[in-house]
Amino acid sequence: MLSTFIANSPIWASIVITLVTITTYQLAAACQQKWQSIWLNPMLISICVLVPLLLILELNYQEYSQTTQILNLMLEPAIVALGFPLYQQLKQIRLHWREMTAILVFGIVIVISVSFILAMLLIKAPDIAIALSLKSVTTPIGITLTEQLFGDSSITAFAILIAGLFGALLGPQWLSFIGVNSAKAQGLAIGSASHVIGTAVLVRKSAEHGAYSSVALIFSAVLTALISPWLIPLLQQLFN
């Protein structure tokens, strides 16, 4: 029935479904503000509410994605807006750019290698191994790189979301638990492991957290784009 409504009145369907998505997100955000629990992450709650709703209404993902295109379009300017916390900390960042680059290269090589080897041992499918290796970067880059290396990009999108949610929900607590408390270290770790989702959560803590997270998001994306085209073929040779 809803599919017919979308086909007959695409504009109204877009308005209604986008409003439902925004309302769900805002209600979840209000709940999180009231109860201050990490498990009330607005994105996680929205997905938990909207997935069953779509299944009940027999609406597939393509139809949902089509009707909420305005939110997808808003993602690009929202990422550009992260340039503001980046600007606020430029002076601090200039002091450490060499150390940051070295640390991120080391982390990226380790995470690509570990993810690829684990996936080949447990799932034994090269396309899924490639997809999982590229989950620590922002979605557009992860998908582009996966397709370039003949991986399964739908798995990359799923893995990027899980990694993002994991870092956003548990990352700060885990880092505090292991004694990593500075805004710089937390920002770099969350930005490189959990990209935009982690940054969107971490930026609420302080401008410095947000700035370093944004920097890690950019550096990780650039470095992964440079490292993965030679590292992944090398790893593939290990299993041939």
Residues between 145 and 164 that touch another protein (CB under 8 A): 154-155, 157-159, 161-163
User: Using the rule CB under 8 A, is 15 a contact of another protein?
Assistant: no
Measured distance CA(20)–CA(13) in Å, rounded:
11
User: Using the rule CB under 8 A, is 210 a contact of another protein?
Assistant: yes
User: Using the rule CB under 8 A, is 22 a contact of another protein?
Assistant: yes
- Smallest gap from residue 66 Cβ to another protein (A): 10
| Closest C-alpha to 32, from 24, 116, 16, 140 | 24
User: Using the rule CB under 8 A, is 223 a contact of another protein?
Assistant: no
Which amino acid appears at position 1 of this protein? M
Measured distance CA(103)–CA(129) in Å, rounded:
24
User: Using the rule CB under 8 A, is 138 a contact of another protein?
Assistant: yes
User: Using the rule CB under 8 A, is 122 a contact of another protein?
Assistant: yes
User: Using the rule CB under 8 A, is 230 a contact of another protein?
Assistant: no
Contacts of 19 (CB under 8 A, 6+ apart): none
User: Using the rule CB under 8 A, is 204 a contact of another protein?
Assistant: yes
| Closest C-alpha to 116, from 131, 133, 137 | 133
- Smallest gap from residue 149 Cβ to another protein (A): 15
Q: Among residues 35 and 61, whose Cβ is nearest to another protein?
A: 61
User: Using the rule CB under 8 A, is 234 a contact of another protein?
Assistant: no
- Tell me the three-class secondary structure of 176-207, residue by residue: HHCCCCCHHHHHHHHHHHHHHHHHHHHCCCCH
Which amino acid appears at position 193 of this protein? A
> What value does the CA radius of gyration of the chain take, rounded to a whole number of Å?
19
Among 166, 205, 206, 227, binds another protein (CB under 8 A): 166
Enter the tokens of residue 111.
């995470």
- Smallest gap from residue 63 Cβ to another protein (A): 11
DSSP state of 152: -
Among 13, 149, 169, 190, binds another protein (CB under 8 A): 190
Total binding residues for another protein by CB under 8 A?
101
Among 7, 78, 234, 238, binds another protein (CB under 8 A): 78
Measured distance CA(130)–CA(226) in Å, rounded:
15
Vertex 230: Cα angle to 226 and 234 (nearest 5):
150
Among 13, 82, 130, 149, binds another protein (CB under 8 A): 82
Among 6, 13, 46, 209, binds another protein (CB under 8 A): 46
